[in-house]
Amino acid sequence: MSSYMGHRLTGTNLTPPFNKLNKKSFDTYFSSIKAAFWGLETKGFRSIHSPIESAMSSTAGLVIPCKAAVAWEAGKPLVIEQVEVAPPQALEVRIKIKYTSLCHTDLYFWEAKGQTPLFPRIFGHEAAGIVESVGEGVSDLKVGDHVLPVFTGECGECRHCQSEESNMCDLLRINTDRGVMISDGKSRFSIDGVPINHFLGTSTFSEYTVVHRGCLAKLNPLAPLDKVCVLSCGISTGLGATLNVAKPKKGSSVAVFGLGAVGLAAAEGARIAGASRIIGVDLNPSRFEEAKKFGVTEFVNPKEHDRPVQQVIAEMTNGGVDRSVECTGHIDAMIAAFECVHDGWGVAVLVGVPNKEAVFMTKPINLLNERTLKGTFFGNYKPRTDLPSVVEMYMNKKLELDKFITHRLPFSDINKAFELMLKGQGLRCIINMEE
């Protein structure tokens, strides 16, 4: 095994129960001291060093055996395997995943549609967890911190990170083709010495994972991890597209194209901003009733009209909406989202990712008449800097997350989450990694 993997947990230099440690004994020991800690805390012993942190820090530098859902082939059910997770290297952090959820990006790459397949792989990128150990050079996170792992990062040093206008970090920008850590080009996961590929630098379908420090947002420890885990990707993307990019004014009108989780998050952003009219556009009428919970006031199904939907919306709003947010990635919807905003001040924001060969076409006069077209990546949120404040929006009851969570499953049933998404059922399914 490569030297970077560190010492195995079965090393004889450790005191019991670690000198014969396996996954079951580690969890049993961890659970017992967790219970003991909370018992002491309720008796007023709040100044002691947390035994939970002690248990985690005592595994620092060691290989941890744990369960992970491994995708061996494209489109085939994930297999729960025992993997070995190496310790974090310089500027890396190993975290214990508490809750994760499934995003369409996981589904897309699991199906291996439109990209070079990379298997075996551990998917997952929407999650919340607790820091188990940190690598050399990590000073802003410590053992026991609650964190959100994010598919993109913030190194803090590049031109994008230094700019107030960008969140597209040069070092840690999303890379769907990379299956290893950027520091040494090696995986931190293995089975019997065989490396298993990472996914988006997060791989949260594993009880433990290793992430670059720049891809972790430190959270308020009081935030419920089984709720805020959904902020790692889609919900923040839609929410930020509205609040950070479209920036609707109170009393304005907003059209949202696509009423999946990202689109409903965009609608939630419009509701928070105080929009008076939120028009939902979708080809699936079954989504309309659910969308009312997110502030959507009116609905348009393009299939029910014999003219372009942008014309329908312009007629409904006396010339066009003030803002629009496109969340489908379909080129016709993108064009419609732009052409349905009002001249003079209308702003359209593109969120959905189209086919790389797709071409956006509109008449130049639409731009010359002072309509604005913008794109956004992850809602223009810088992960480390901005996500903690999004969590606080939830804690302060400004942002409503519970309505996005439609299903909950134990980790052992993770394949059911894929089945639900393939059937188009629900918004977000929370997977409890300890069940």
Return the active site residues.
Answer: 103-105, 125-126, 155, 158, 161, 169, 173, 233, 428
By C-alpha distance, which of 86, 94, 110 is closest to 3?
86
Q: Are 231 and 387 in contact (CB under 8 A)?
A: yes
Give the Cβ contact number of residue 419 at 10 Å. Answer: 12
> What is the torsion angle, in degrees rounded to the nearest 10, for the CA atoms of residue 245, residue 247, residue 248 and residue 254?
10
CA distance 271 to 277: 9
> What is the torsion angle, in degrees rounded to the nearest 10, for the CA atoms of residue 416, residue 420, residue 426 and residue 429?
30
Dig out the tokens for 399 from the structure. Answer: 């942002």
CA distance 269 to 261: 12
Question: Which H/E stretch holds residue 368?
Answer: helix 364-368
- Kindly list the strands in the beta sheet with 7-8, ordered across the sheet, starting from the edge strand earlier in the chain: 7-8, 62-70, 79-85, 189-191, 194-196
Angle at the Cα of 207 (from 206 to 209), degrees rounded to 5? 65
> What is the torsion angle, in degrees rounded to the nearest 10, for the CA atoms of residue 210, residue 138, residue 63 and residue 198?
20
